[in-house]
Structure 1
Amino acid sequence: MRVLHTSDWHVGRTFHGRDLLGDQEAVLGSLADVVADEGVDVVVVAGDLYDRAVPSGEAVQTCVRVMARIREAGARLVVTSGNHDSAARVGAFAEFAAAGGLHLHTRVDRLHEPSELRDEHGPVLFYGLPYLEPDPARHALNATEGVPGAGEIVERGHTPVLGEAMNRVRADLAARPAGARSVVLAHAFVTGGAGSDSERTIAVGGVEQVPGSVFDGVDYVALGHLHGPQRIDEHLRYSGSPVAYSFSEAAHRKSVWLVDLDADGLAEVRGHELPVPRALATIEGPLQELLEDPAHAAAEDCYVSAALTDEVRPLEAMRRLQERFPHAVHLEWKPAEGKATAPLRYSAIVRGRDDSALAARFVEDCRGARPNETERGLLDEALREVVAEGTE
């Protein structure tokens, strides 16, 4: 059986205010081509199908079209919920969807119940662990009865609940006929993984990481949550997100894992790079240099994050930047070291200054230069109007 491991679609997410649905559909739609070209039997999505608990109608329709293309290409899908989307909404109509080849695993009390899919060697059991928020998951797992391998969770945190979840998975697997192979989908931060700026923290009590040993005893673990593709162990991997969601991911080579299972279990894992709708670029320097230097030509069609090093904050910087870089989405002012005004305590700033001096100091702090005589006149006029209105 050939499995395509992906995760963290985050359908509906924006990038610094830019709509990404078109980019997302283009990349995720290409998975259907991978399914057809590589003979993929099953596509797994290890959490965060959507970017929010209540996705927009457009985001839902994008997912529907993508999944329909994957099914038409010949693969079944196994999906779990993550820490961004809603388990209840993603898992709605799960029993009906399974009949059409879409297997949804979102219920904590049923995480030990796999989807059984078969190949020429027999069954492959897909266990989907939805994102387990420690306290609610601990209560839900402790409340279930009659589950093989179940125990009481006393300690708090991610490791105890994931450990208990995997105990139940291993107990169910042990009760199956010998030779059944297993794949676990899990949305978690495993020790050794490298995070990025676009992941929402799942820390509880300061500890969000779990050891990889929690997942011992299965053939392959398809991890989700971290957005960079990475290998924790041969059988324990993150596929990463299919699209970059922060400039910290500029160096990522977005990809999916193609996982081959033979009669004995895991046979081979290899990466398959995904198309990049629009690359990311970071540029830095004085605004005029960024607008004129030919060295920045390669960034003109990229999503751009710019750091301006001008001593004085330039006026209308983003508008001017977008004349050359139409996809510039992020801008910060980083004046050369020693040029920025040193921060002062509030009491020191206001001491001995009237309203006019405070307004002038505010302008200086914002742009790195004192207001000129004309600007001081405008500030004083505005202050007089405010005082006049207050006395009417």
Structure 2
Amino acid sequence: MRILHTSDWHIGRTFHGHSTLDALRGVLEALTEQVRTHDVDLVIVAGDVFDSATPSAGCYPLLTDTLAAFRDAGATVVVTSGNHDSAARLGFQAGLLRDGIHVLTDTQQVGTPITLSDEHGPVHVYGIPYLEPALVRHQWPGVRTQAAALGHAMDLVRADLAARGGRSVAIAHCFAAGVAPTPSLERDIQQGGLDVVPLQTFDGVDYMALGHIHGRQQLAPHIRYAGAPLHYSFGEGDKPRGSWLVDIDAQGFGEATWLELPVPRRLVTLTASLEDLLADERFAADEAAWVCAQYTDTLPQRDPLRRLQARFPHCASVVHLPEQQEHDDARTYVQRVRAAQTDRELIEAFLVHVRAGEGATERESDLLRDLLDEQALAEAHA
């Protein structure tokens, strides 16, 4: 049996104020082509289908069109909910979906599989929606953490599988021990403490399809994250986008192959002085990319975003990142203020403090001298 594992579509997410719906639609069309080209039997979407618990109206057609396209390409589809989804909203029409499309959001159904068959017999697919401990502890007494919730869910899976026999695939949306999270997107992850799920929790199934991490990860040959199909932050810019093509043979897990997805627009982070960013030819190849510009000038510059967008129309973020300077004066700001003997020395101490060590320029020194002289003259005649 051939499985395509994807996750974390985040339909409706914006990128620095820009809609991603059109870009995501193109990527999901490419994903559909993967299903068709590789004769996929089962598509797994491991949570975070939507980016919000209250997605806008424009998000629903993209989901329904994509799921229908998967089915038309010949695949059964199993979708689970993630922490960004509203399980109720995502699953409300589960009973009305066409045959072969399954949206699993009900915790009471954990341990009850969707069963498919191939020439080697049955393959049981167990979908586990995102488990919020506070919402399931009344159903599963004693559960206080996500690790405990996943442990209980997998106990239900293993018990059912022991009775049925056959090969198995499970789906979960969680932070598993051993992963390296990508920056900024997994904003709900707690890397330490009780929300980390030990790998042994997933023992007993032939393939574990995980969601929640936005970069691909292999925790064991049969335990993997597919990551998001689209880049949603500059921190992910160098991470490949794609899906796992998983083969289940007569004995269970066979192999997994990474299938690349197209990147609608590259993401780059450029670091240089503002003048170089605006004029240097080494950045010419990046003019059509999404750009995060980090300008290294000592002092903040006037209107940098507007100026940069004249060269980089898709410059979405500007960060002032002054180069570190070494100073002979190791005194603290408070020490410099206390040591100041004149108003000019007091102002100079303030400028050095707020400008990362850069004091007044020659022109600013002239202005300060004139202003302080005028003030002294006015006080003398008061």
TM-score range, shorter chain: 0.7 to 0.9
* Partner residue in 2 for 1:118: 117
Which letter maps to 2:14?
T
Instruction: Give the Cα–Cα distance (whole angstroms) in 2 for the partners of residues 64 and 110 of structure 1.
Output: 23
User: 1:315 maps to what in 2?
Assistant: 302
Aligned ranges 1:107-256 → 2 under 5 Å:
107-142=106-141, 153=142, 156-176=144-164, 178=165, 180-197=166-183, 198-203=185-190, 206-256=193-243
Q: Can you list the C-alpha shifts for 1:54-110, whole angstroms capped at 9, x where unaligned?
A: 10111111112222222221112100000111111111121222x432111111121
For the aligned residue pairs, the C-alpha RMSD in angstroms reads 2.9
Is contact 1:16–1:329 with CA below 8 Å preserved after alignment?
yes
Equivalent residue for 2:21? 21
Partner of 1:106: 105
Letter matched to residue 96 of structure 1: L
Q: Residue type matched to 2:161 in 1?
A: L
Counterpart of 1:383 in structure 2 is none
1:107 alignment partner AA:
D
Number of equivalenced pairs: 356
Q: CA–CA distance in 1 between the matches of 2:282 and 2:4?
A: 39
Aligned-pair CA distance for 1:157: 1.7
Greater Rg over alpha carbons, structure: 2
- Tell me the distance in 2 between the aligned counterparts of 1:297 and 1:140: 58
1:22–1:231 CA distance, 2 compared to 1 (3 A):
same
Classify 1:141/1:333 alpha carbon distance in 2 versus 1 (closer, same or farther; 3 Å).
same
Q: Which residue matches 1:4?
A: 4
In structure 2, what is the equivalent of residue 40 of structure 1?
40
Alignment correspondent of 1:324? 311
Question: Match for residue 148 of structure 1?
Answer: none
CA–CA distance in structure 1, aligned partners of residues 333 and 65 of structure 2: 55
Output aligned runs, 1:350-369, within 5 Å: 365=354
Q: Distance in 2 between matches of 1:287 and 1:320?
A: 9
Q: Which runs of 5+ in 2 are unaligned?
A: 369-382
In structure 2, C-alpha distance between the alignment counterparts of 1:19 and 1:372, rounded to whole Å: 44
Greater mean deviation of Cα atoms: 330-339 or 104-113:
330-339
SS at match of 2:264: coil
Shift of residue 338, structure 1, vs aligned partner: 3.3
Give the 3-state SS of the residue equivalent to 2:209 in structure 1: strand
Asked whether the 8 Å contact 1:311–1:339 carries over to 2, the reply is no
| Helix, strand or coil at the partner of 1:57 | coil
Structure 1 residues 222-252: Cα deviation after superposition (integer angstroms, max 9, x where no partner): 0000011111001100000001111111221
Residues in 2 aligned to 1:366 and 1:80: alpha-carbon distance in whole angstroms: 50
CA contact (8 A) 1:109 1:141 kept: no
Cα contact 2:299–2:355 (8 A) shared by 1: no
**Alignment match of 1:287 (pick from 271, 274, 287):** 274
**2:249 partner amino acid:** D
Distance in 2 between the 1:83 and 1:365 partners? 41
Structure 2 CA distance for aligned equivalents of residues 344 and 217 of structure 1: 61
1:201 CA displacement: 2.2
CA distance in 2, matches of 1:282, 1:343: 33
Task: Tell me the TM-score normalized by structure 1.
Answer: 0.83
Structure 1 contact 157–205 (Cα < 8 Å) conserved: no
Shift of 1:339: 8.5
Partner of 1:147: none
2:181 counterpart letter in structure 1: G
In structure 2, the residue matched to 1:149 is: none
Q: Which runs of 5+ in 1 are unaligned?
A: 143-152, 377-392
1:306 alignment counterpart: 293
Distance across 1 between alignment mates of 2:318 and 2:332: 21
One-letter amino acid matched to 2:234: F
Indicate conservation of the 8 Å contact 2:12/2:50, yes or no.
yes
SS in 1 for 2:194: coil
> 1:344: how far off?
6.0
SS in structure 2 opposite 1:282?
A: strand
Q: Match of 2:168, as an amino acid?
A: S
State the distance in 2 between where 1:38 and 1:204 align.
36
Cα distance between partner residues in 2 of 1:134 and 1:234:
29
CA offset at residue 366 of structure 1? Answer: 8.4
> Using the alignment, how far apart are the partners of 1:140 and 1:202 within structure 2?
24
